[in-house]
Copies of this chain bind each other. A is one copy, B any other.
Amino acid sequence: MTQVLTKWVYPFGSGHADGSAEMLDLLGGKGANLAEMSKLGLPVPPGFTITTEVCSVFYENDHNYPIELHGQVAQALADVETLVDATFGDQKNPLLVSVRSGAQASMPGMMDTVLNLGLNDETVEGLARKSDDERFAYDSYRRFIQMYGDVVLGVAHHHFEDILENYKDERDYRLDTEMVAEDWREITCRYRKEIICEHGKAFPQDPKIQLWGAIGAVFGSWMNQRAVTYRRLHDIPESWGTAVNVQAMVFGNMGDDCATGVAFTRNPSNGLKQIYGEYLVNAQGEDVVAGIRTPQPLTLAGKQSGGVDSLAMEEVMPAVFDKLKGVCDSLEFHYCDMQDIEFTVQKGQLWMLQTRNGKRTAQAALQIAVDMAREKVIDEREAVTRVDPVSLEQLLHPTLDPAAPRTVLARGLAASPGAATGVVVFDADEAERRAHGGDDVLLVRIETSPEDIHGMHAACGILTARGGMTSHAAVVARGMGRPCVSGASDVRIDYGAGTLAAGGRTVFAGDVITIDGSTGEIMVGRVPMVEPELGEEFTILMTWADKYRILKVRANAETPEDARIAREFGAEGIGLCRTEHMFFEGARITAMREMIMAEGEVDRRAAMAKVLPMQRQDFVELFKIMAGMPVTIRLLDPPLHEFLPKMESEYAELAEATGSDPNKIRHRAAQLHEVNPMLGHRGCRLGITHPEIYEMQARAIFEAAILVGRELGKTVKPEVMIPLVATRTEFDLLRGRIDKIAEDVKEDLNAELSYLVGTMIELPRACLCADSLAESAEFFSFGTNDLTQTTFGISRDDSAHFLPIYEEQDIISKDPFVSIDVNGVGELIRIAAERGRSTRLDIKLGICGEHGGDPSSIAFCQRIGLEYVSCSSYRVPIARLAAAQAAIGKLAESD
C-alpha cells in the first residue's frame, strides 16, 4: 500500500516548479511568484517553498514541524545542489541560500530574512577561492553572522555595529570600503565571540543547523509584535500564516559586473508606461533598502526626470538592461498588471528574486488601468476593479507636498481628507467675517454645533479638540469637502485667552497653522501643497464604472454649492437634504427662535410663515440644479434646544432681538434640556408635537416643485422623508398632514403635483415593523448613523472614550460608524428590506448615512439589493467606483 504523504515543500527553478501563481494561499506571495516565474522560463535561482500549512502545524503543535518535513527539505535541498552544481556545507564549492518569509499578503519588513546561509569558518574559504575574492567572502560571512545572530539567536544589531565601529576607530578607517579581507576576517572572529558572550552558545558551524534555525526564526516572526500589529491594521487574518522560501544565493556584490535593483514595469507615481526603478552596482539587495549608498536610475528617462548625474543601468549594462526589459514585458503580459520586481546581476547574469503587483498612487492606478485596457491587456470591466475607490480621495482634495518639511504640533483624527492652511479663528462669526475679508481661515473649536455651520462653510479647514470620526464637525466637514482634524485631545483650546496649546507650544488667534485631514496632523505655519488634478483617465474610468454599476449614487447635499459639486461628480440625485441647515442662516434662526419661544400655535405659525419664502427659495435652487433628478428632503430632525443659544451671555442678546425676557429664554432652554438628546424630542416626534414646522416645510417643497417644474418644463417629483419614525401610526399621521398640504398647494397654484412620501429608517423598531410601514411609505432611506447608534447602543459623540480601545484590542474589527456592522446593523437592514418588500414589492430602498460612501458598506448594499447609496458630494466618485466593483463582485464586505 502506498501512503499519500502531505506535500509540505514546493521546489522551483530552471524552468520548472511544483507550484504556481494560483497557489498564493499555500505558498505565499513570494513563493507562488517565484514558482510562476520559473515556469515562465525566467532566470530564477533555484530553491523551494515550505508551505503556509507548515506554519499552521508549527503553531498548533507547540512549535513542532510535521514529521515528513525534514525529509522533504533534504530532498529539495539536494535538488538545488544538483541544479546549481554546488553542495551545502562543501568546503570547496559551497551552496549558499537565503531564507525568507512570504505570506499571502505582502507585509513588507515585518518578518525576518537571513542571507548567505551556509557559510562557516570553512566554507568561507571555499567561497573565497571560488569567487577569487577573499574580501567578498568574509564580508558575506560577517553579514551572515550578524543577521543570523540578530534574527535567530536574539543578539541585537547594535552589538555588531558597535564592534565594527570600534574596529574602524582602532584602524582609523572612516568608510567600510577601506576594510580589506583581513579586516573582515577579524570582524567575523569578534562577532562570533560576541555571540558566545551574549547568547551563551557558539555560532553554529553546521549549515543544516543554521538552516533549521533560520526556518524556525522565520515561522516565529509571524507572531512578533510588529507583524501582529501590521496584520491588525491591514485586516490580515492570523490563520493565514507565512511560508518560508529557501533559495540559492546569487550575489550582486561580486564585482563591477554585478548589481542589484528593483524595477516597476510602469511608473508607480504617475502610471506612465516606462520602466522605473533603481539599482546599485556591486551591492547586495539590503544596501538598496538600507539607503547607505544612493541608488542609480535604471533608465535614461529616469535619469533625466530625476535630474541626477549617476549613470543609468541602460548605459552601464545595456545588454543586461535589455534582458531586464524583456523580463518586465513578459511578466506584465503574463500577470496583466504592473509588476514590482527585485533582481540581481551576478557577473553579467540577470537573476529574478521576486515579482508582485506593484503598489501605486491613485493617479498611477487610474493611468495604468486605463492604459492597459486600451492596450487590450485587460478589459474595461477588469480595469474598473484595478483602482481602490478610497484612493480616489487623494485626487479630489489638495494634499501636502510630501517633500516639504513640517513641524507637527499634535495629532487628531483624520476626519475629512485634504490639507488646509489658514489663520486660526475660534469663532464661527469671525471665521465668516475674516473669510469675507479674503483670509484663508482655519476654524478651531472645542467641538462644533449646527450654529457653527456658516463658519465651517467659510473656513478652508476645521480643527476640533473633541468628537470622533462621526462627530458633527467630521460629518459636516466631509459633507462640505472641507479638510478636518477632529478629536485632537492633546490640544487645549482656551476661547477666553484665544489660544490653542499643544506639546508645550501655544498658538494664538490669527497665527497660521496647517492641518492634514488625511493623516490627522496639525502643523505650525504654512506647509506647501499640491493641488488635485482630475485627468482624462479619471473621466474614462468613471464612465466604464458607470457601465457596470447597478446601484445608483446620490449625494447628501443641502446647499446649492454642494448640489453643484455633486452633479459635477456624477451624482444621480440627492439622497439626503438635511433641512436643519435651512433654519440656521441669518434671519431664519431668529424666526425659529421666535417659534420656540411662542406662547401658542398662532404665534408659532406666524414665526414659521416668515421662514416659508426663504425655504421655498432654497428648494427652488436645489430643484433647478438637480433638473428633474430625484431629491429626497428630510423634514426637520434635530431637537429644538439646538436652535437656542448655549451661552448665558447670548440669552440677553436674543431677548433683546425677540423682545422677550432673558429669564424666559433661560427657563425655556432648561425646559428643553435633554439627558440623552440623541434619543429625545426630535425627528418625527417634533413633527407630531409641532405640526406647523412640517406643514411649512411641506408647503415650501411643494410650491418650489411646481414653480421649478413650470420653469424647466418637466416634472419635479420631490421625495419627502420623515425622520426617526418608530411606529406606523407616527408615519400615517404625518403623511396625512403632508398629503393635506399637497392638496392645498395644488389648489392654490392650480397645478398638478407628483411626490413621494417615505421614511428614514434609523431605529431598530422601524426595521422590525418595515412590513407595516411599507404599506404606507413609498420609500425607505436607511439612516445608518443613527441606526448604528441605537443598534449598538453607542453614542457616536461619546464613543471616543472606548471605541479606540475596542479597535486596539480587536474587540471590533472596524469602527461601525465607518463601515456597516454587517452582523448587527446590517442584519436589521436586511430584515427591513425583506419585510418592506413583502408588502410593497417595488419599494424604493436607499441608504443615506455616512456609510453610503464607504466601499465595503456599498458592497453590502449591493448584496441586499438596495436601489441607491447616498453620500457626501466629495465621495460620489468613490461610491460610483465602489458600486461598480460591487456589481462586478470584486469588493469585499467587512465582517
**How far, in Å, is A687 (CB) from chain B's closest CB?**
10
Residues of B within 8 A of A675 (CB): 677-678, 795, 797-798
- A499 beta carbon closer than 8 Å to chain B: no
The interface residues of chain B lying within 8 Å CB-to-CB of A810 are 729
Chain B, Cβ-Cβ closest to A679:
B795
Query: Which A795-815 residues have a C-beta within 8 angstroms of B?
Result: 795, 797-798, 801-802, 805-806, 809-812
* Cβ contacts A779-804/B at 8 Å (1 or 0 each): 00000001001111111011001100
Contact A763 B793 (CB under 8 A): yes
Residues of B within 8 A of A676 (CB): 676-679, 795, 797-798
Contact partners of A786 in chain B: CB under 8 A:
793
Flag whether A629 is at the interface (Cβ < 8 A): no
What mask results when residues 726 to 752 of chain A are scored 1 for a CB within 8 Å of chain B, else 0?
A: 110110010000000000000000000
B809 x A688 contact (CB < 8 A): yes
CA A57 – CA B218 in complex, angstroms? 86
Chain B interface: which of A98-106, A649-657, A821-829, A873-881?
A821-829
A401 within 8 A of B: no
Nearest CB of chain B from residue A13's CB, rounded to whole Å: 45
Decide if A601 is an interface residue (CB 8 Å cutoff).
no
Rounded to whole angstroms, the CA-CA distance of A134 and B724 in the bound complex is: 70
Pick the 8 closest A-B CB pairs, nearest first.
A676-B795, A679-B795, A765-B824, A764-B764, A681-B801, A675-B797, A763-B793, A680-B798
Contact between A792 and B805, CB atoms less than 8 A apart: no
Q: Is A753 an interface residue (CB 8 A)?
A: no
A798 touching B681, Cβ below 8 Å: yes
Cβ-neighbour of A679 out of B733, B793, B812 (below 8 A): B793
Q: Does A762 contact B (CB under 8 A)?
A: yes
Contact residues in B for A802 (Cβ distance below 8 Å): 681, 685, 688-689
Query: Which residues of A from 446 to 463 have beta carbons under 8 Å from B?
Result: none
Task: Name the B residues within 8 Å of A888 (CB-CB).
Answer: none
CB distance from A293 to the nearest CB of B (A): 47
**A768 CB within 8 Å of chain B:** yes
A679 engages B765 (CB within 8 Å): no
In the complex, which residue of chain B has the Cβ closest to the Cβ of A640? B801
Q: CA–CA, A801 to B827, complex, Å?
A: 32
Task: Indicate if A769 sits at the interface (CB-CB under 8 A).
Answer: yes
Say what secondary structure dominates the interface of chain A: helix
> How many copies, total?
2
The interface residues of chain B lying within 8 Å CB-to-CB of A122 are none
Closest Cβ of chain B to A826, distance in Å, is 9
Partner of A792, one of B689, B763, B806: B763
Contact of A790 among B729, B791, B811 (CB under 8 A): B791
What residue of chain B has the Cβ atom nearest to residue A788's Cβ? B765
Residues 54-75 of chain A: 1 if any B CB is under 8 Å from the residue's CB, otherwise 0?
A: 0000000000000000000000
Are A805 and B688 in contact, with the CB atoms below 8 A? Answer: yes
**B677 engages A793 (CB within 8 Å):** no
A677 CB contacts on chain B under 8 angstroms: 675-676, 795, 798
B789 pairs with A765, CB closer than 8 A? no
**Residue of A789, A792, A809 with highest tally of chain B CB at under 10 A:** A792
- Check A794–B679 contact: CB distance below 8 A: yes
Q: Which of A760-778 contact B (CB under 8 A)?
A: 762-765, 768-769, 772
Contact B689 A805 (CB under 8 A): yes
Report if A561 contacts B (CB, 8 A): no
A674 interfacial by beta-carbon distance below 8 Å: yes
Contact yes or no, A824 B764, CB < 8 A: yes
> What count of chain A residues pass the 8 Å CB interface test?
49
A783 CB, nearest partner CB in chain B, Å? 11
Bound-state CA distance A809–B689 (Å) is 10
Q: A677-B795, A790-B793 are in contact. List 14 more A-B contacts (CB 8 A).
A: A674-B797, A679-B679, A679-B798, A680-B801, A685-B801, A689-B801, A726-B793, A726-B824, A727-B811, A727-B812, A763-B793, A765-B792, A768-B823, A786-B793
CA distance in complex: A157, B288 (Å) = 107
A764 contacts across to B, CB distance below 8 A:
764, 790-791, 793, 824, 828
Report A686-711 CB contacts with B as 1/0, cut-off 8 Å.
00110000000000000000000000
Q: Are A680 and B823 in contact (CB under 8 A)?
A: no
Residues of B within 8 A of A772 (CB): 823
Closest-by-CB residue of B relative to A686 is B802
A806 to B679, Cβ gap below 8 A? no
Q: Which residues 629-683 of A sit at the B interface, judged by CB distance below 8 A?
A: 672, 674-681
Bound complex: CA of A598 vs CA of B152, how far in Å?
Answer: 42
Q: Which of chain B's residues have a CB closer than 8 A to the CB of A821?
A: 765
Shortest C-beta distance, A364 to chain B (Å), equals 38
Give, as a whole number of angstroms, the nearest-CB distance from A49 to chain B. 34
For A824, the closest partner residue in chain B by CB is B765
Given A676-B676, A726-B793, A793-B790, decide whether A806 and B688 contact each other with a Cβ distance below 8 A: yes
A717 to chain B, nearest CB (A): 29
A580→B164 CA distance, assembly (Å)? 63
> What is the distance, in angstroms, from A596's C-beta to the closest C-beta of chain B?
13
Q: Check if A679 sits within 8 Å of B789, measured CB to CB.
A: yes
**Chain B residue contacts of A790, Cβ below 8 A:** 679, 764, 790-791, 793
1/0 contact string of A62-103 vs chain B (CB within 8 Å): 000000000000000000000000000000000000000000
* Shortest beta-carbon distance from A542 to chain B in Å: 36
- Report A730 CB to chain B, min CB distance, Å: 6
The CA of A679 and the CA of B797, in the complex, are separated in Å by 9
Alpha-carbon gap, A793 to B683, bound state (A): 11
Report the separation of the CA atoms of residues A811 and B689 in the bound assembly, to the nearest whole angstrom: 12
In the complex, A765 Cα to B829 Cα: how many Å? 12
